[in-house]
Structure 1
Amino acid sequence: GVGGIEAEAVMLGQPISMVLPEVIGYKLMGIPSALVTSTDLVLTVTKHLRQVGVVGKFVEFFGPGVAQLSIADRATIANMCPEYGATAAFFPVDQTSIAYLKQTGRDQEKLNYIQKYLEAVKMFRDFTNPAEDPDFTRVVGLDLSTVVPCCSGPKRPQDKVAVSEMKQDFECCLCAKQGLRGFQIAPEKLDDRIKFVYDGEQFELTHGSVVIAAITSCTNTSNPSVMLGAGLFAKKAVEAGLQVKPYIKTSLSPGSGVVTYYLKESKVMPYLSQLGFEVVGYGCMTCIGNSGPLPESVVEAITQGDLVAVGVLSGNRNFEGRVHPNTRANYLASPPLVIAYAIAGTVRIDFEKDPLGVNAEGKQIFLRDIWPTRNEIQAVERQYVIPAMFKEVYEKIEKVNECWNCLHATSDKMYSWDPDSTYIKSPPFFKNLITSSWFEVNDYKSCFHFGESLYTFLEWYGRLGKTLNKAAVRFPQSKILTPREFNSYGSRRGNDDVMARGTFANIRLVNKFLNKQGPQTIHFPSEETLDVFDAAERYQQADLPLIVLAGKEYGSGSSRDWAAKGPFLLVSETRQKTMLKIDKKKNPSNIIVRLCELVICETPLSLGLNNAVSDSLHCEEKKKKKKKSTSVKCLLDTGKTFQAVMRFDTDVELAYFHNGGILNYMVRKMANC
């Protein structure tokens, strides 16, 4: 897809360049079950497309099943595009699209113009007419009637689990080897229970206990069907006498103020509030790690029992360490299911056999007793989601927040950097407008070795004061900030000093040189175990280049611009200090981080690259003006050699490389105008 670096380039007038992609047609057929939500469909599609393999490709949805989906449903599926790996996910415009624009208060004259234009250029689609289906590189499909209520987790959004199998699957994950789906809990520890006191009352936690339940994300919480579904479910739960345990951190962060409007108008908001799902803000929240701290007694219980506590959220991403440092398992689920698991208090529950809860009269209440049907939800949606509320909310956007309106903005054309700011500072990318050529690196250190999946390697999540990354904590401490003022990495992404320290700093990161979780590596030749930043700093002082061994999914789930900028900053003092990424598939960085691919059938292990010894690399071929990929010959101390490919897909990428990165390229181009 397109990340922050490309966005910066476009703001400076630079076009995006890419290889002509394959277009995968995803055919939707059938009618979904009355008990299935759009989130269930999204998680099913995400798993399927990951299996199909759509990285670097476009995905276009078509077929009669598309006509069954609302615009909000389609947007939710398209918004998961980064999670199934496509460059873009596309739903063509049809009559439902025009109806949505009308519902949200758009001008009728403009709508007529839009429809006539799209019809004239043959881009207006009737999904029930197969004669209008375009030709695709490949067609795959899904029968909507086969979709079942599901979640995804415990560590990746593509790992879909049917709700009916959740209990069994989670217990298998507890026992499985530490990895993408395993926690390696000893058999005798599976049923450990830790008692604790919260607000004067005693509770207990075990593996699978839910401690965070958040209705949160960009698209799920802007989708009326799932939000009103959550509201109706909350209403029925409260009326049945069910409640959520008080220590569970519950929250509601809608994607739009319109959501709050129709939840109040439909009179379901009081029931959500009664279960703890109060509106805490709008937009990104728990999905990006901004859930805030858990109660101290809960954290102590989790730590004492080394428990696999759980977060359940309606967000897009649940990679390890992202949601909260104390929730080792995190599941994506629809907003109604988030409430259901909050009431149950655990994911070790079979909703078919086990009651959701017991009310004050001792009556067992099952999920099926209070789950709203699609027809119930649609009836409320038709009554309360109306054009007038969109117009009213949109008109208030520039007036409603007095604090924002009172902010003073300078009229200077040049930004005035505040040297005392710990949030935003002038970045070092332009200290030396260097140029790059094919490289020869001698006596490098391969000090980081990661597996196939390296998700959200940045420490975005939680407060800096709670991080295990000592290098990151030292920086704000040096600025005399209190723990409360540390805030999060996400809020300080405009400060390169913080972000460099947050690179390869995920608390769940596993460096294969150490084979344990934590943002650390071994420094050679001292063989000390250091934080990643401290090791990189020491290598800089010794004038030693670095190499990173990373898998094909490097950078997934995190900001793609920082997937490039972070490693660059760790080694950016001199041009020779370049980080070389060796993997099997490209994740373009467009900044001067050398990117190489191993040839087929070779791995870091088979080549002996995982022993962190001094090796040498040099380019075998000289610069060729039109060459998009250049062979790299790598010579090891052992005398063994292997081939890799230094890859560029377009002439523009090659130009970026030779100018020292896309930002340097743009500065040079503007300076020469």
Structure 2
Amino acid sequence: PDIVGVELTGKLQPGITGTDMVLAITEFLRKERVVGAYLEFYGEGADALTVGDRATISNMTPEYGATAAMFYIDSQTIDYLKLTGREDEQVALVEAYAKHTGLWADSLTTAEYERVLTFDLSSVTRTLAGPSNPHAHLPTSELAKNGIAGDMDKARAEEKAGRMPDGAVIIAAITSCTNTSNPRNMVAAGLIARNANRLGLTRKPWVKSSLAPGSKTVKMYLEEAGLMGELEDLGFGVVAYACTTCNGMSGALEPKIQEEIIERDLYATAVLSGNRNFDGRIHPHAKQAFLASPPLVVAYAIAGTIRFDIEKDILGHDAQGNPVTLKDIWPDDSEIDAIVKSSVKPEQFRDTYIPMFDLQKAARTLVSPLYEWRPQSTYIRRPPYWEGNMAKERGLKGMRPLAILPDNITTDHLSPSNAIQLNSAAGEYLDKMGLPEEDFNSYATHRGDHLTAQRATLANPKLFNEMVHDEQGKVVQGSLARVEPEGKVTRMWEAIETYMARKQPLIIIAGADYGQGSSRDWAAKGVALAGVETIVAEGFERIHRTNLIGMGVMPLQFEEGTTRHTLALDGTEIYDVEGAPQPGAKLTLVIHRQSGSAERVPVICRLDTAEEVSIYTAGGVLQRFAQDFLESTAA
């Protein structure tokens, strides 16, 4: 892989959080096209970052598309190991091993890179990301300039009349991503809450707020600092130690709030301290979502609308009637650091994690190694990966397009993970299975049942399938498809069912950066089960490309300058692929047009290694495993 050096210079300005830093770096690295690369961070800026801040950068690796983001081992690492309760012997071993093997920072100062990027930490300002993409950098000083903030007089008038304002923040969530494993971020959020409470500020009544730490230690050190109660007073009580809002599992809104959003077709939003804010991911009724640091999430819960200019507008008034703005409640770095030093303790980590790894030697009962599949289960069902479309050979002939998709298709477009709605294909199926709507849960929780999960395939209501147009020729938004050769527009799932019944091989055509976002296994499983044999795009994100190969779907890439637009594709075509798959080989996409003509287009085989070719030709990673297992047992 490409190994890219990223030099961090300067230092963060006062009041700037690790989240602000990583959102700015994400935009920078996405623009620098580091997809698939290994990044090694170094420099005076990197030296000064705590492991918490470094981990926040590394945790966003999928958002800028790299394979890994690494920092050297140094005194910051040793401090972190001590802080988190590691034994002295282990800490000493880590330091000695790193120095002996050349992994200590001092040993890497002479490292040379073919490509070096430089990022100045002092350039980072307070920031959001959004809407719709984590690399859509949005400095809070430019909210009005970018058309996000504005018209607060109208918002206040609506609130006074008992209505939610335009841009209402219906969800404000401090989520379980690395942001909540960074003590500085969490202490800053607690201090914002404390300062707001002292000045009489409150959360807006339509905001559903939550705190879902990734570790139980977060609550421990917030309690130690006397800040947990402050957060709870503003509505940020602990709801779980797990993925919640960031993975689309924010739960139901209050019925009256949901009704008002629907009746008024209100532009409602979410603000969260997660990694991803793709359209439709956070909540079905949040039309857009913005990423922010934990303290900014608290501030937006008080503001109540994304139209609020968070740096300038008045959050409220104190007991004396004085206006209160963000700067009046934002804590000093010195106070944050002092509280982290006094309240985050090694014993908190020991008390949390040592019991977790203690083996429980309870009495054991022998059970059958074979699972007893339950036919009515909507959570765990016998998988079909050796049957149907998964069992047949990929001929790459006579394929019809299931969809023609634009740039920046995410795994949330391909297979959403959020709450299942009754009017969705999955919701209708669960309803037929006898589940009450309140127990539908999310797509992610049903990933063990293919009959539910495959109904999520391309089910995102924010999808734009360029095969589906209105009478004016504009692409229609929604989980829609056009069944060919009839030309009938249907919901995506009905189109998939139709093609499955016909045993019709399928293809998807797409733009650049196909498959952004999380490693959603069903983003690849869903299209494979539908009968998609290949995806031809202008470019692929690394993780999703690998997952497609693992499910036996061929990733092909247009050559530079060739796109769905230059080829004037409209979805009536039939496609073949010619050529033997080899790493980086040039294959031929044969486009049979409705007029009877055929066009031969060179495409690049994105099976990048011999191992990937082996997995693909076996039919996928499961089929490859089965072959290897049978061969080993027969030997």
Q: Specify if TM > 0.5.
A: yes
* Structure 1 residue ranges without an equivalent (≥5): 1-20, 175-186, 572-577
Report the Cα distance in structure 2 between the residues aligned to 1:86 and 1:457, rounded to whole angstroms.
20
Distance in structure 2 (CA, Å) of the matches to 1:193 and 1:640: 61
Query: Which segment is superposed worse, 537-546 or 626-635?
Result: 626-635
Structure 2 stretches lacking a partner, 5+ long: 469-474
Give the direction of change, closer, same or farther, for the CA distance of 1:559–1:468 in structure 2 (3 Å limit).
Answer: farther
1:225/1:595 CA distance change after superposition, 3 Å: same
> Which amino acid in the other structure matches residue 463 of structure 1?
A
Determine whether 1:522 maps to 2:490: no
Matches within 5 A, 1:132-281: 132-171=109-148, 203-281=162-240
Alignment equivalent of 1:95, drawn from 63, 68, 75 = 75
Q: Which amino acid aligns with 2:186?
A: M
Offset at 1:445?
Answer: 2.1
Q: Map 1:212-611; keep pairs closer than 5 Å.
A: 212-397=171-356, 411-431=367-387, 434=391, 436=393, 439-442=395-398, 444-455=399-410, 456-464=412-420, 466=421, 468-469=423-424, 471-514=425-468, 515-571=475-531, 578-586=532-540, 587-588=545-546, 589-590=548-549, 591-609=551-569, 611=570
Which segment is superposed worse, 234-243 or 132-141?
132-141
Quickly say closer, same or farther: Cα 1:327–1:670, change in 2 above 3 A: same
Alpha-carbon contact 1:216-1:314 (below 8 Å) kept: yes
Q: Give the whole-Å Cα distance in 1 for the aligned partners of 2:457 and 2:361.
A: 35
- Which residue in the other structure is 2:103 paired with? 123
**AA aligned opposite 1:535:** A
Q: CA deviation at 1:407?
A: 13
The alignment's C-alpha RMSD in Å is 2.6
Aligned-residue offset at 1:88: 0.7
Q: Aligned in 2, Cα 1:242/1:633: closer, same or farther, shift over 3 Å?
A: closer
- Contact persistence 2:583–2:608 (CA under 8 A): no
In the alignment, which residue of structure 1 is the partner of 2:86? 106
SS of alignment partner, residue 441 of structure 1: coil
258-267 or 25-34: bigger deviation: 25-34
Change beyond 3 A, Cα 1:411–1:630:
farther
Partner secondary structure for residue 145 of structure 2: helix
Distance across 2 between alignment mates of 1:342 and 1:133? 47
**What CA distance in whole angstroms lies between the structure 2 residues aligned with 1:84 and 1:618?**
31
**Structure 1's 378 and 447: CA in aligned 2 closer, same or farther, altered over 3 A?**
same
2:50 maps to a residue whose letter is S
Cα distance in 2 for partners of 1:505, 1:259 equals 36
2: CA distance, partners of 1:63 / 1:273: 40
AA matched with 2:260: A
Mapped partners of 2:94, 2:120: distance in 1:
31
Deviation at 1:544, TM superposition (A): 2.4
The normalised TM-score by structure 1 is 0.86
Secondary structure of 2:283's counterpart equals: coil
Cα 1:487–1:210, aligned 2, differ >3 Å: closer, same or farther? same
Does the CA contact (< 8 Å) of 2:415 and 2:520 recur in 1? no
8 A Cα contact 1:105 1:390, kept in partner = yes
Deviation at 1:67, TM superposition (A): 1.9
Output one character per residue of 1:375-421: Cα deviation in whole Å (capped at 9) or x when no partner.
Answer: 11000010011111111122343799xxx999998743333322232
1:228, 1:381 within 8 Å by CA — same for their partners in 2? yes
Tell me how far 1:482 sits from its aligned partner: 1.0
1:464-502 C-alpha deviation (Å, 9 max, x unpaired): 2x2542x21222122111112211111111111111110
Cα distance in structure 2, aligned partners of 1:118 and 1:652: 31
What's the offset of the Cα at 1:24? 1.1
Q: Is the 8 A contact 1:507 1:518 kept in 2?
A: yes
TM superposition shift of 1:292: 0.7
**How many Å separate the matches in 2 of 1:206 and 1:557?**
31
SS in 1 for 2:354: helix
Structure 1 SS opposite 2:442: coil
5 Å-filtered alignment, 1:617-636, equals 617-619=576-578, 621=579, 623=580, 628-636=584-592
1:86 is matched with 66
The CA deviation at 1:560 is: 4.0
Pair 1:353–1:478, CA change in 2 (3 A):
closer
Number of the residue aligned with 1:17? none
The residue aligned with 1:74 is 54
Does structure 2 conserve the Cα–Cα contact (< 8 Å) formed by 1:23 and 1:57? Answer: yes
Q: What is the one-letter code of the residue matched to 1:271?
A: E
Task: Pick the aligned partner of 1:43 from 23, 38, 41.
Answer: 23
Where 1:116 maps in the other structure, the secondary structure is: helix
CA contact (8 A) 1:253 1:281 kept: yes
Asked if structure 2 preserves the Cα contact closer than 8 Å seen for 1:251 and 1:278, the reply is yes
Residue 23 of structure 1 is matched in structure 2 by 3
Deviation at 1:318, TM superposition (A): 0.3
Give SS of 1:497's match: helix
1:630 and 1:647 in contact (8 A); partners too? no
Amino acid in structure 2 at the alignment position of 1:427: P
Alpha-carbon distance in structure 1 between the residues aligned to 2:275 and 2:138: 15
In the other structure, the counterpart of 1:183 is none
Tell me the alpha carbon deviations over residues 24-73 of structure 1, each in whole angstroms, 9 at most, x when there is no partner: 11111112111100000010110000011100111111001112211111
Q: How far did residue 631 of structure 1 move?
A: 1.3
- Within 2, Cα distance between the matches of 1:405 and 1:521? 54
* 2:614 aligned residue (648, 655, 663): 655
Q: Return closer, same or farther for 1:410/1:359 CA change in 2, 3 Å cut-off.
A: farther
Quickly say closer, same or farther: Cα 1:535–1:274, change in 2 above 3 A.
same
Residues 545-581 of structure 1, C-alpha deviations (whole Å, 9 max, x = no match) = 222112232221243422211100112xxxxxx4321
Q: Percent identity?
A: 36
